[in-house]
Chain A
Amino acid sequence: MFSIFGVPAPLLFGQLLLGLINGGFYAMLSLGLAVIFGMLNIINFAHGAMFMMGAFVAWMLLNYLGVNYWFALILTPLIVGLFGVVLEKTVISRLYKLDHLYGLLLTFGLALVIEGLFRNEYGSSGMPYQIPTLLSGAVNLGFMFLPVYRGWVIVAALVVCLATWGLIEKTKLGSLLRAATENPALVQAFGVNVPRLVTLTFAGGVALAAFAGVLAAPIYSVNPNMGSNFINTVFAVVVIGGMGSIFGAIVSGFGLGVIEGLTKVFYPQASDTVIFVVMVLVLLTRPAGLFGKAA
């Protein structure tokens, strides 16, 4: 047993691991928020509810239909993404001509409705979701025991974040997306179906949240409040990273997760507030966010 800065190494690495996992969720959620914001100019307050829905849909697939984790991981983002398409087409698309604040209010209302309905049906106590057998157990890394599932979550989150970044920065679809973010009217004039692009963007962001929800299901208990617990912190992450940059959302998500984890080791009382303190410091020094352009 060795220690670092007077802290036993297993404790330090354990919290670092937890921090990376939380950071993965922060990154995936703030990435979705940033993509949606860029295209729709809406802060999706229902993003936490979508995350929660992801976990619940995976739970329902398993318990009602017997669909296992791996299929749920693919099916759930599709199902919740489809729900996102319906939401965008029926409700959210009516807001584009209004003040942006109405988008925030509307999605806040949506979040209340969705969470309230799930709470009515399933209560607030939460339900367990079994870790798939392939990913159960732990490996000895020499300096710590790593539960396989936790390692998998970090890898999966990282891969999905990088894939999203690649999709937006390196593909034809991504270039259309970025162009439509800059100037929708011009892109429309080139014959691109911008409204469809907007719908797809919303669905994509929401699907990302749902994917995160499935990943989270075996770690946290599946309960109606799991989204709103996360989303307020994610907003702070978004303010810190700045909305402008996909890469910034990923880096600040993981980075802040790690900072939170380290705070749990060295000064546990502040672990819940440290991200907000960082936000204040960023606001004082770089009001546009670490990776944001001045807005």
Chain B
Amino acid sequence: MRGTNSSQAVAFAVLIALVIVSPSVLYPVFVMKVLCFALFAAAFNLLIGYVGLLSFGHAAFFGLGAYVTAWTAKTWGLTPEIAILLGGISGAALGTVFGWLAIRRQGLYFAMITLALAQMVYFFCVEAPFTGGEDGIQQVPRGKLFGALSLANDMAIYWVVAVIFLIGFFLLNRTVHSPFGQVMKAIRENEPRATSLGYRTDSYKLIAFILSTFIAGIAGGTKSLVFGIATLTDVHWSMSGEVVLMTLLGGLGTIFGPVMGALVVTAMENYLAPFGAWVTVTQGLIFIACVLAFRRGIVGEIAARLKLAL
């Protein structure tokens, strides 16, 4: 693939192999959860890792995607691919508005504004009639792909999720390695300089934001079909925190970091689930450890040790 180096090509091959093999080794629903979060984290990483924008409200787009997909699949009986696409489009539509507002400020303010806007979406979802309030939208049918292939079986939907994940992941990777991606990185490194070279940095930021929120909506929609449920958890600020954690732990600004982070965080939550609030404590400690001592993240650290770009 153009723009990727040989080590990344190898890593891609390994990733695809893992996606194909893992459902026969691990519980497929768990792997699907990891893939959905990996896609979500990769979308988030496009902003923090490559444009330098910390969006602390990405749960809004993920959650809205989940709600829209669940609602259209359940109420209108739309086929899964259309429902998920609508989830992505609604994520992008919200992202267009929020991005347009938030890029007026930079740095910490950007983070606070996205957080506050996402909180507004959360309160909206609590009140709005179509979200089902505290109950959420339950028993969402997985439906039939293209109206023909039933996805009720876990392995059937697994391949759909795998394909969605890989397409989304390649799209994000392609964006990062495109001329557009080069400008994004230039903005991250030195925004005034990028402006002085004649780039409309605000437009670049907005387009990156919309792309990221589109993929986040897709990830949320896919998740809601896999589990048959869309709830307030998906739009809550702790979900925004979780995707930050995944990306930070995996490695900010690395291609494969978000996937690694999603795997580790999801696995950790599974194993620690019986211990209640210890999950939160552990997540907090990982945050602190990552910031103080481990800022490159897992993949970033491996890449630095092996002198590779992953």
Is the C-beta of B244 less than 8 angstroms from some C-beta in chain A?
A: yes
User: Is A251 among interface residues, defined by CB-CB distance under 8 A?
Assistant: no
Chain B interface extent, by class = 35 or more
Contact of A112 among B115, B283, B291 (CB under 8 A): B283
- Say if the beta carbon of A200 comes within 8 Å of chain B: no
The number of A-B residue pairs with CB atoms under 8 Å apart is 123
Chain B binding surface SS class? helix
Choice from B127, B241, B291 contacting A272 with Cβ under 8 Å: B127
A273 with B124: CB separation less than 8 A: yes
Contact with B along A252-295 (1 / 0, CB 8 A): 00000000000000000100110011011001100100000001
Contact check, A276 vs B117: say whether CB atoms are below 8 A apart.
Answer: yes
Please measure, in the bound complex, the distance between the C-alpha atom of A273 and the C-alpha atom of B126, giving whole angstroms. 11
Q: Using A101-B54, A119-B280, A120-B281 as known contacts, say yes or no to A109 and B113 having CB atoms under 8 A apart.
A: no
Given contacts A105-B248, A106-B288, A110-B288, contact A235 B280 (CB under 8 A): no
CB–CB A43/B287 < 8 A = no
A162 interface residue, CB < 8 Å from B? no
Q: Which residues of B127-186 are within 8 A (CB) of A?
A: 127
**Contacting residues, chain A, for B287 (C-beta < 8 A):** 105-106, 108-110, 112
What 3 pairs across the A-B complex have the smallest Cβ distances?
A109-B287, A112-B284, A113-B284
14 A-B pairs whose Cβ atoms sit less than 8 Å apart in the complex: A37-B108, A94-B292, A106-B287, A108-B244, A108-B284, A110-B288, A113-B288, A116-B278, A120-B278, A232-B115, A233-B116, A276-B119, A276-B120, A279-B113
Residues of A within 8 A of B (CB): 37, 43, 91, 94-95, 98, 100-102, 104-106, 108-117, 119-120, 228, 232-233, 235-236, 238-239, 269, 272-273, 276-277, 279-280, 283-284, 287, 295
Interface residues of B (CB under 8 A from A): 48, 54, 56, 101, 104-109, 111-113, 115-117, 119-120, 123-124, 126-127, 237, 241, 244, 248, 276-281, 283-288, 290-292, 295
